[in-house]
Structure 1
Amino acid sequence: MHSPDEIIHQPVRLKIMAALNTLEAKQWLEFVALKSIVKATDGNLGAHLGTLENADYVQITKDFAGKKPRTRVRLSPAGREAFARYVADLHALLNL
């Protein structure tokens, strides 16, 4: 049995991964909406997203909606697989 993925296991990152996992594979979630879901500050969410992006678990895009800057996030294929493994590892741990 594997131990749960330490990158995902941190509470805010777990909330981020769980929220993004509810979306379709190619669907993006705006930073502002994700911030509201996980109840994090801009800086805190940005730092956790940086960790997840460095692990190739999320993809981040920045563009403009009209004249306003917009940041959007989605799970990468590797992130979707990592989250599925994380959930399976927790199930295995709870079924001992």
Structure 2
Amino acid sequence: MAEVAFDETIHAPVRLRICGLLRPVDKLEFSVLRDTLDVSDATLSKHLKTLSTAGYATADKAASADRRDARRLTWLSLTPAGRVAFDAHVRALQAITTPAD
């Protein structure tokens, strides 16, 4: 049976939404995630740091073919541990919201 585990780190609303958006994709660019969540750079960075410290998320910088300057894009993704933790957390939420027989 799949693990069921409520995770306080993931459960914070912005972090839960971050994980939900990152779960179905390999990676997502920082500005896309920021705009989708409608949060500031600082807020997103703070929550990503918490997820990263927990081993749940990672960030990689890469040059963009579309940019003419030297700035690089930041790509975000869930780690394998982050995917497992998010899936377990979702199952825990489902268990909480499913009526007992």
- Do structure 1's residue 88 and structure 2's residue 87 form an aligned pair? no
Residue pair 2:5, 2:85 contacting (<8 A) in 1 also: no
Moved over 4 A (4+): none
Which residue of the partner structure matches residue 50 of structure 1?
A: 49
Residue 59 of structure 1: aligned partner: 58
TM-score by length of 1: 0.88
Distance 2:45 2:85 in 1: 20
- Structure 2, unmatched stretches of 5+, are none
The answer for the alignment partner of 1:30 in structure 2 is 29
Question: Is the Cα–Cα contact under 8 Å of residues 60 and 74 in structure 2 kept in the other structure?
Answer: yes
> Which has more radius of gyration?
2
Match of 1:4 in 2: 6
Give the Cα separation in 2 of the matches to 1:22 and 1:38. 16
Q: Which amino acid aligns with 1:91?
A: Q
1:32: Cα distance to partner? 0.4
Structure 1 equivalent of residue 80 of structure 2: 77
Partner amino acid, structure 2, of 1:34: L
Work out the percentage of aligned pairs sharing the same amino acid: 37
Q: How many residues align?
A: 92
Structure 2 Cα separation of the partners of residues 84 and 36 of structure 1: 24
Asked whether the 8 Å contact 2:22–2:77 carries over to 1, the reply is: yes
Task: Provide Cα deviations, 1:45-90, integer angstroms capped at 9, x if missing partner.
Answer: 0000000000010111123225222111001000000001001101
Structure 1: gaps spanning 5 or more residues: none
